[in-house]
Structure 1
């Protein structure tokens, strides 16, 4: 059902980090002019701005504010740092509320000075600590598992199974998962774990890009859809089989593309999205 080319942009969302050289006002104007209907806002783009007015500006361009990136980074061997992370996540929830989005994506964090198990417990504790604020603000929290190469500092949640386990343990309608193909495409259990979070109504977000081969930078060399080896249409079919009808969010970290003309890059994103996503 999902192997046909995409013919419209009604479900296309682009992260502000994807077109990093553009200020959020410029991104909003250009996304809207190109027919893009969704935007995910990275918190750094809000610095020095009136967040509520920024949200109004985005909606004035007929853009759905799909989510705010990012919360998380809960673990630390230092109790003071753990509390600072919880406070920052509470701040992110307030920012999401002011912006007018109902979802925060969590890059959960890890501390290489302790075991992954300890980091995971601190992640769960941190999420549970901010749940009262999240539910009061009407903001859902999406645990995003990251590729195992980031298990040292970026995330101790490295498989969708681990994210699903934690979501089920927390057992709140305000906590679910974000499926990012860059981090999960390699997982032999991916189809069944996508089905699992779909059955739990916990599939909150779907992020797309491609894995270039060879990859020259493990953080900032993501590819356009169709430029690498990720079976994007197959994974999309699994996501849509759950009943997920949300946006397909293009999230590309790329030093190469950030150095290019961003208007031309935007057209490449749209072409890749239509033909390969």
Structure 2
């Protein structure tokens, strides 16, 4: 099997590149998958962009991102639902079957209220997601983001919500950056597998010291995350999809992106 056959890279990882540049360079380097961030589609004909990606022999793994449901203002919650409906339309035009959900939180209200609004928001989207044949992946985020980015902070919480929603169109995304610290991670990944709910697997590394909690992620092997061990857990749970490299890094975005891409591939082969 080609070493890179399960390597997917998020467009945000090589943020300075346009989606056309990313597609051309990923494909030329043997990368087989791409996850598209919605900002990369701005001002473009999405169907033509989809065709361009496929012409470069790239599987369109998912669309990032939906979510951001909670708000103390009901009108803003409705706007969030409208934006998620737009994301479903975009995913349909792009030709992917998965949207990753960064669920959101509102620091002006309790986490419990935010979680209820997340569950209600996803429930409201299930009919449209089902009709479009698109799955919604709840991505738990590290607790440091519980104020405004996500009130879903452990895989157990994501699993609980998936089970409560009880829909084949809702599952979870496992991102090692957010979950590596969790002592229950192996068991919760196995729980995902039993529910057929493990929809995506994202990799990068946690640098020490971390200089920015959002934009200082490391290349695989640069930090303390046992990536290969966690990969073995997701595969034991039945996951056989892409390993998605998602790196937010102000430092790496300053580099020549072609050189950065080769570093990603080298790190992927060595540490994933």
Report the TM range for the smaller structure's normalisation: over 0.9
Any idea what SS the aligned residue of 2:107 has?
Answer: coil
Paired position in structure 1 for 2:248: 253
CA distance in 1 between partners of 2:126 and 2:79 (Å): 16
1:212-253 Cα distance to aligned partner (Å, 9 max, x none):
000000000000000000001110110010111000000000
- Correspondence for 1:175 among 170, 173, 176: 170
Counterpart-to-counterpart distance in 2, 1:263 and 1:138: 35
Q: Which has the higher contact order (CA 8 A, sep 6+)?
A: 1
Judge conservation of contact 1:7–1:274 (CA < 8 Å) in 2: no
Question: TM-score by structure 2 length?
Answer: 0.99
Residue matched to 2:125: 130
Name 2:44's counterpart in structure 1.
49
Q: Paired residue for 1:119?
A: 114
Structure 2: 5+ residue stretches without partners: none
Q: Distance in 2 between matches of 1:16 and 1:60?
A: 17
Deviations 1:76-105 (A, max 9, x none): 000000000000000000000000000000
Is structure 2 residue 195 aligned with structure 1 residue 200? yes
Unaligned runs of 5+ in 1: 1-5
Corresponding position: 1:139 with 2:134: yes
Distance (Å, rounded) in 2 between the aligned partners of 1:152 and 1:7: 42
Tell me the distance in 1 between the aligned counterparts of 2:120 and 2:84.
Answer: 13
User: If the length of structure 1 is used for normalisation, what is the TM-score?
Assistant: 0.97
Instruction: Trace 1:36-75 onto structure 2 (pairs within 5 A).
Output: 36-75=31-70
Aligned to 1:214, the other structure's residue is in SS state coil
Query: Which residue of structure 1 lines up, in the alignment, with residue 147 of structure 2?
Result: 152
How far residue 7 of structure 1 moved from its aligned partner, in angstroms, is 6.3
Structure 1: distance between partners of 2:160 and 2:48: 38
Q: Distance in 1 between matches of 2:268 and 2:100?
A: 22
Residue 163 of structure 1: aligned partner: 158
Q: Distance in 2 between matches of 1:240 and 1:45?
A: 30
Query: Alignment partner of 1:210: what SS?
Result: coil
Q: Distance in 2 between matches of 1:257 and 1:180?
A: 19
Question: Which one of 63, 75, 78 corresponds to residue 80 of structure 1?
Answer: 75
Deviations 1:114-161 (A, max 9, x none): 000000000000001111110011100000000000000000000000
Q: Which residue of 1 aligns with 2:15?
A: 20
In 2, Cα distance between the equivalents of 1:108 and 1:69? 12
Distance 2:238 2:122 in 1: 26
Say whether residues 1:188 and 2:183 are aligned partners.
Answer: yes
- For 1:24 and 1:133, how far apart are their aligned partners in 2? 27
SS at match of 2:267: helix
- The answer to whether residue 95 in structure 2 is matched with residue 106 in structure 1 is no
Looking at structure 1, the residues matched to 69 and 22 of structure 2 have their Cα atoms a distance apart, in angstroms, of 30
Q: Give the number of aligned pairs.
A: 272
Give, in whole Å, the separation in 2 of the partners of 1:44 and 1:133: 22
What secondary structure is seen at the aligned counterpart in 1 of 2:70?
coil
